[in-house]
A and B are shown apart, each in its own frame.
Chain A
Amino acid sequence: MRKYVLDLRVTSVEQLSERYLLLAATNPAGPLPEMCPGQFAQLRIDDSKETFLRRPISLHHVDYERNEVSFLIQKAGKGTASLWLKRPGSTLNVILPLGNGFTMPKSLNERILLVGGGVGIAPLLFMGEAMQRMGVRPTFLLGARSKSDLLLLDKYRALGTVYVTTEDGSEGEKGFVTQHSILQNEKFDSIAVCGPKPMMMAMASYAKQAQIPCEVSLENVMACGLGACLCCVEETKDGNVCVCKEGPVFDIEKLKW
């Protein structure tokens, strides 16, 4: 897919909690390019004196009618924190779409489980929306530290059945997503996961045991995002490969987990 450097114009900035920001932006120069769920953008960080590189952020929602792309951003450090300074009308320089997305369902009957942890739920909304257009209704399993970190649940519920775990038990089942009863009680044809690495590794080992095809979205630290610098490599059965170019979504069978 062709990649673009674009000066987007911020259309809305919504602070969902102290740690999470929902940023939407439009392309004033023309229609946004085609993008796939699981792909990401490199956001330029201009207002931070202490950081230098772009920040890779997954595509959360794309509205082609409004010519708008949204990012769900967690305040992880000084770079992402500077995005809190954006206001409607601000310029947001992005490179997109980058990397390879999740595999889409092959049939309408496929039972698909989308598992997200923390800010890892971000690309699953875009995935759910693309599946809705196909007529497939996924099951979401979303995990967070506590109720206040569970974001935008209504948007996910509009697309499929949503199950929830929190580490403190303040909402849904208490514990981690890998402990949720749905994994024992229902059968799925495939799983897609995005979240902290230990969570993805635990889901991968569940999927292997249950013999269910599983894809995970990695977030190794990146510099270029284009496959040029070779900084973000993951060790795979084919050697070290760039997460930005060969991923960020990988079939777990390719990984050395």
Chain B
Amino acid sequence: MADLRVKIAELELTNPVLTASGTFGYGVEYQDFIDLSQLGGIIVKGTTLEPREGNPYPRMAETAQGMLNCVGLQNKGVDYFCQHIYPQIKDIKTNMIVNVSGNSPEDYAECAARINELDCIPAIELNISCPNVKHGGMAFGTTTEGATSVVKAVREAYKKTLIVKLSPNVTSITDIALAVQDAGADAVSLINTLMGMAIDIEKRKRILSIGTGGLSGPCIKPVALRMVYQVAHAVKLPVIGLGGISSAKDAIEFLLAGASAIEIGTANFLDPTVSVKVAQGIDEYLDKHGFKSVNEIVGICE
């Protein structure tokens, strides 16, 4: 049994496997299937300062080896989260991380400040990369100025581990990553979904209610892997890799590319137990190849 522990800034994970925001609810949705304490952490559903209804139905279109969604950050707001959801999840024995989104730097900072008060939430993941909302979201994550403004505002309000989730829908993701690093982030996670579209040829109409959506699943893995490699080689911050990971082999590729930890997203829909299987598979790989710690393989790919 190899040592699977990793550190993301001040955040200590028992293993490098996290579950991605928007694919794992608040964790409780999956507790019939797996022992949640076997995960490195759970990144819960995107939370905003005010409640949001999200986009109209239909919000999902299946694609070859993937899916598009345009959920649009439906959530009951940070106050509801603190009062009603937090008490239900605070005793789950893993790192419970909240994904935070907003309309303006002030919004993000206010939401982060409220979550800063919650003892059992050791980190937030800042979503500056949601492709499915008109204001905020990806608008901040596609320019270095936008990303800097949000991260700076949140950094002042938030004292624990600050992870920033990056959008792949940019010309140079390394430029954004460097800007986020300079603005005070503790880590970056990438990639969020790739913006896409699906068309129904019988109705001659775009399938999703807002026309476009974010593509996820195995089909985006090569793009995600390339971006993780580039960012890991450009920044000093720890990198969390995600995008189409559905097996231990996929996860190991991201670790070799330079990710210190990984997130599993869409694959949870196909197999609700996949996250713990990936953690076990990483362990087996390390043993088989004589590595004593998972940290030994981070970024060693030539």
**In the docked arrangement, what's the CA distance between A215 and B272, Å?**
30
Interface residues of B in 61-80 (CB under 8 A from A): 62-67, 69, 71, 74
Q: Closest approach, in angstroms, between the C-beta of A1 and any C-beta of chain B?
A: 9
Instruction: Contact check, A229 vs B57: say whether CB atoms are below 8 A apart.
Output: no
B54, B59, B74, B269: which contacts A224 (Cβ < 8 A)? B269
The answer to whether B169 has its CB under 8 Å from any CB of chain A is: no
The answer to whether A202 has its CB under 8 Å from any CB of chain B is: no
Please indicate which of the listed interface residues A222, A235, A240 has the most CB atoms of chain B within 10 Å of its own CB. A240
- B-chain residues with CB within 8 Å of residue A79 when the two chains form the complex: 62
Instruction: Contact check, B62 vs A233: say whether CB atoms are below 8 A apart.
Output: no
Instruction: Contact check, A95 vs B59: say whether CB atoms are below 8 A apart.
Output: no
- A-chain residues with CB within 8 Å of residue B62 when the two chains form the complex: 51-53, 79
Residue of A nearest to B213 (CB): A231
Instruction: Contact check, B58 vs A221: say whether CB atoms are below 8 A apart.
Output: yes
Interface size on A, residues (CB 8 A): 32
Number of A-B contacts (CB under 8 A): 90
Instruction: Contact check, A229 vs B69: say whether CB atoms are below 8 A apart.
Output: yes
- A-chain residues with CB within 8 Å of residue B271 when the two chains form the complex: 5
Interface of A: prevailing SS = loop
**In the docked arrangement, what's the CA distance between A139 and B127, Å?**
53
**In the docked arrangement, what's the CA distance between A221 and B64, Å?**
16
The answer to whether A85 has its CB under 8 Å from any CB of chain B is: no
Q: Closest approach, in angstroms, between the C-beta of B94 and any C-beta of chain A?
A: 16
Interface size on B, residues (CB 8 A): 33
Interface segment, one of B17-25, B101-109, B250-258: B17-25
- A-chain residues with CB within 8 Å of residue B23 when the two chains form the complex: 224, 228-229
Instruction: Contact check, A229 vs B58: say whether CB atoms are below 8 A apart.
Output: no
Contacts known (A221-B60, A240-B53, A240-B74); A4 close to B32, Cβ less than 8 A: yes
- A-chain residues with CB within 8 Å of residue B60 when the two chains form the complex: 221-223, 229, 231-232
Please indicate which of the listed interface residues A50, A230, A233, A245 has the most CB atoms of chain B within 10 Å of its own CB. A230
Residues of B within 8 A of A (CB): 22-25, 29-30, 32-33, 45, 53-54, 56-60, 62-67, 69, 71, 74, 217, 266, 268-273
Besides the contacts A53-B62, A54-B270, what 10 more A-B pairs have beta carbons closer than 8 Å? A51-B62, A52-B67, A220-B58, A223-B60, A224-B269, A231-B60, A233-B54, A233-B59, A234-B57, A239-B53
The 8 A-B pairs of least Cβ separation, nearest first, read A231-B60, A228-B25, A224-B269, A3-B32, A228-B29, A226-B29, A231-B59, A230-B71
